């Protein structure tokens, strides 16, 4: 399983503008909130656990003329799934939320555009922070006492299709509505 970070070609280029003129200095854990129920209570009677995972860029700012700091909030939640209750209706069995700060040193006299900083933060920074969160979450799950750590997925940077341009409608001849016997796909 992977999580995809999608960016348009323009966003890739903007992120590259910063990446090619910066060097990573440090990634550090800024804060974390942990919560865990007793595994013996929840791992009985064939209950299954499903995981919910997410991230978002918290903030990015120039700390000095050449130091860029970006925070990324990451989270992993385990939801109980039973015959009586689907995971969406259950409260988390355990939860891990963590904020990481990535610090970069920029080349002298380089002033990135705000759009470049946003694209870099939304793509490259999340990609750089993610392995730190994966390791933190997997170790924390073991310390919670849950057997078998969740497979925190890898990240992939992928190209997002460019936004569709509105098209002006051309005059067309009216067609008869599609009849069920003309359908080419069946949806179950």
| Within a domain: 97 | yes
Question: Is residue 126 in some structural domain?
Answer: yes
159, part of any domain = no
Torsion-angle region of residue 17: left (phi > 0), alpha (psi -120 to 50) or beta? alpha
Name the nearest CA neighbour of 86 among 136, 143, 48: 48
What CATH number has the domain bearing residue 145?
3.10.420.10
- State the residue for tokens 């656990």: 49
The answer to whether the CB of 2 falls within 8 A of the CB of 153 is yes
Residue 110 belongs to domain spanning: 2-153
Task: Name the residue with tokens 């904020």.
Answer: 99
For the chain, the 3-state helix, strand and coil shares in percent, each to the nearest 5, are: 30, 40, 35
Q: Which two tokens stand for residue 157?
A: 């940077």
Give the total number of structural domains in the chain.
1
**Is 176 domain-assigned?**
no
Flag whether 129 is in a domain.
yes
Q: Quick check: is 48 in a domain?
A: yes
**Digits of tens for pLDDT over the chain (188 positions)?**
677 888 999 999 999 999 999 999 999 999 999 998 888 777 676 667 788 888 999 988 888 889 999 999 999 988 877 655 555 566 788 899 999 999 999 999 999 999 999 999 999 999 999 999 999 998 998 888 876 667 777 777 777 776 676 655 555 444 443 333 333 332 32
């Amino acid at each position: 399983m992977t999580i995809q970070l999608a960016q348009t070609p323009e966003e890739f280029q903007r992120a590259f503008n910063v990446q090619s003129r910066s060097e990573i200095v440090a990634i550090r854990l800024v804060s974390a909130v942990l919560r865990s129920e007793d595994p013996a209570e929840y791992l009985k009677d064939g209950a299954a656990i499903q995981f919910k995972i997410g991230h978002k860029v918290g903030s990015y700012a120039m700390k000095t003329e050449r130091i860029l700091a970006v925070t990324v909030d990451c989270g992993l939640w385990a939801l109980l799934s039973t015959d009586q209750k689907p995971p969406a209706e259950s409260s988390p069995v355990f939860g891990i939320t963590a904020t990481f700060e990535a610090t970069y040193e920029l080349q002298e006299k380089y002033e990135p555009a705000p759009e470049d900083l946003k694209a870099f933060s939304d793509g490259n920074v999340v990609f750089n922070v993610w392995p730190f969160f994966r390791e933190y979450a997997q170790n924390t799950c073991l310390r919670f006492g849950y057997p078998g750590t969740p497979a925190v997925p890898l990240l992939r940077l992928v190209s997002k299709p460019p936004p569709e341009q509105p098209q002006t409608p051309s005059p067309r001849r009216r067609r008869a509505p599609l009849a069920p016997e003309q359908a080419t796909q069946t949806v179950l």
